[in-house]
A and B are shown apart, each in its own frame.
Chain A
Amino acid sequence: MSELENRNPDPLTKNVVFLTAVDDIINATRANSVWPLTFGLACCAIEMMATGAAKYDIDRFGSGPFRGTPRQSDLMIVAGTVTHKMAPRVKRLYDQMPEPKYVIAMGGCVIRGGPYVKHGYHVVKGVDLLVPVDVYIPGCPPRPEALLEGLFKVQKLMKREKILDRTRRTTKPEVYHAVYPGLILRNAEDGIWANHWGSQGEAARGVGGGGHRWRGPVCGRQGRGVGRRGRALPR
């Protein structure tokens, strides 16, 4: 209840009756029970599985029951490479999800084609050509901590949802800045310094992830080509 404030002004019933906005209560329940769609496509999916499994345990953060069907889920974690053969299915799965729905693009491949950006004739260069994306998590693959961070961003977005106002979907993209400084993340538990761009050799050669610099998960509705409602956004 910490994120809900009691708006009851009456001192007599203050501690007995709890008044709040409908938005707040709906958003709080929604954000603390996110049901992601299992949408593992490639290597990133393994990290997504690791996030759900014993050590990183996504259940701690009010998310977790990975659903096998889009009709029961409200968050699509696109983890892996989207190819032209797969693209119609991605779109259809997205369309089958009930509103309000959120999309996390996990990994360099779904952001801009990742390592396959130049020669990958069969790779879709970014899932945001197909569906609008809420949060981008760069990395190849992103660490489970990064995915968790991305989930928090989505939960933040969920808490700002208004049931009467659906127009916010066309507002300007917002970008949250890095929690982690620079390119390096310290994994507090292990005391290990890990490079977010994969092994050092890769980073130096620049095939790690489609030319993105790590800024932490980037958040914002940056659909290219299609708007949240399927309308074309102004470029």
Chain B
Amino acid sequence: MTEAKIRTEEMLLNMGPQHPSTHGVFRVVVRTDGELVLESESHIGYLHRCFEKCAEGNNYLQVVPYTDRMDYLCAMMNNWGYAVAVEKLAGIEVPERAEYIRVMVAELNRVASHLLAFGTYGLDIGAITPFLYAFRDRERILKIFEKLCGQRLNYSYVRIGGVTFDMTEEILADIEAFCDYFDPKIIDEYDNLLSYNGIFISRTANVGVMPADLAISYGVTGPSLRGSGVQRDLRRDAPYGIYDRLEFDVPVGTGEMGQLGDCWDRYMVRMREMRQSIRLVRQVLRDIPEGPFCDKKAYRAVKPKAGETYKRVEGARGEVGFYIVSDGTNIPYRVKARAPSFSNISILDKLTSLSDVMVADLVAIIGSLDIVLGEVDR
């Protein structure tokens, strides 16, 4: 029988919302021909928790815990983004020490978030061990955060006007110990374990190639955009906090294992970013000043004048933006959150139609975009 006589049929396959490798409740409907994905259509909204409506019903301070729950893997950056926006609206000065503490916790949180991305990406590809390694080290960071604010996940630590609790000497020592433990020994271990693993490279290199102009048009930001070789980092391009005083590099994708902008590049940007984050934390540890940790008045209540503002910070997944409209009361009139994962995942349908993608590659692409569904749906 020649090949031409074999009749193949297209099939409509439903992945999710309950699927182990979609990182939550994300649903993709794929039209497949055998193993090949011809077309895909993403459906979101299975975790729509009405953040914006909740924000309209609570006062400015009470909104902070809701921002945690948007992107629960890097809650500090969400808190920060919201705090920056409100501070600009209300004209609140943040004490110097608070700015340093913010950078420190945000960068540690970025490491924790990238560690989880690393671990679960291994799981998606079929490597179970990295997951256990990643959690081992993530627990160390969580332990520090727990000492700091009593929570393991949704910290609400960065608040309007500063931070909630002061940093103690003991915690600073813990953080220093963690930095020494983690960089470079452990990251090198990860690179040996997964990054330069032959099977891993063949699963991810040249898969899901994302050209830079397309990525920008789809609003992709953060490590996923940098994986395509675009030098874009809000910490450097539009510095907030004290980032303009600190030294760090912005790693971008190089295309060393295949084409520029493939899954491996996106993955590797995260691994390199972790080193930069540790570098930032070390600098902050070196020059953290003494002083108050929060603006006294803003600690109790915030009441900005009428007006509106849009502020963004660089989260672990991209640009976290908040558009806040105030009508002069202590309850925000409208809070709109720009969630990076929301834009990042919208490119998925395009990526599957660009090239021949297998079903297993689809999982690799979703994993490399590193989405958090709480943020996609808000």
Minimum CB distance partner of B145 in chain A: A199
- In the complex, which residues of chain A have a beta carbon less than 8 angstroms from the beta carbon of B56? 119
Closest Cβ–Cβ distance, residue A125 to chain B (whole Å): 12
CB of A83 closer than 8 Å to a CB of B? yes
- Per a CB cutoff under 8 Å, which of B49, B65, B147 touches A198? B65
CB of B20 closer than 8 Å to a CB of A? yes
* Chain A positions 17-42 with a Cβ under 8 Å from a chain B Cβ: 38-42
CB of A186 closer than 8 Å to a CB of B? no
- In the complex, which residues of chain A have a beta carbon less than 8 angstroms from the beta carbon of B133? 54
A198 touches B154 (CB 8 A): yes
Query: In whole angstroms, how far apart are the Cα atoms of A234 and B65 in the complex?
Result: 37
Interface size on A (CB < 8 Å)? Answer: 47
CB of B296 closer than 8 Å to a CB of A? no
A205 touches B62 (CB 8 A): yes
CB of B19 closer than 8 Å to a CB of A? yes
Query: In whole angstroms, how far apart are the Cα atoms of A42 and B17 in the complex?
Result: 12
- Per a CB cutoff under 8 Å, which of A68, A83, A141 touches B20? A68
Interface centre among A39, A40, A198 (most CB of B within 10 A): A198
- Per a CB cutoff under 8 Å, which of B54, B139, B152, B373 touches A116? B54
* Chain A positions 116-134 with a Cβ under 8 Å from a chain B Cβ: 116, 118-123
Known contacts A68-B19, A198-B65, A207-B65; is-contact A85 B154 (Cβ 8 Å): no
B136 touches A55 (CB 8 A): yes
CB of B180 closer than 8 Å to a CB of A? no
A198 touches B17 (CB 8 A): no
* Chain A positions 85-133 with a Cβ under 8 Å from a chain B Cβ: 85-86, 89, 93, 115-116, 118-123
Additional pairs, 15, CB under 8 Å, beyond known A53-B132, A122-B50, A198-B154:
A39-B18, A43-B374, A54-B135, A55-B135, A55-B136, A81-B49, A116-B49, A119-B50, A123-B49, A190-B143, A194-B150, A194-B151, A199-B157, A202-B156, A208-B65
Interface of A toward B, CB cutoff 8 Å: 38-43, 45-47, 49-50, 53-55, 66, 68, 80-81, 83, 85-86, 89, 93, 115-116, 118-123, 140-141, 143, 190, 192-195, 198-202, 205, 207-208
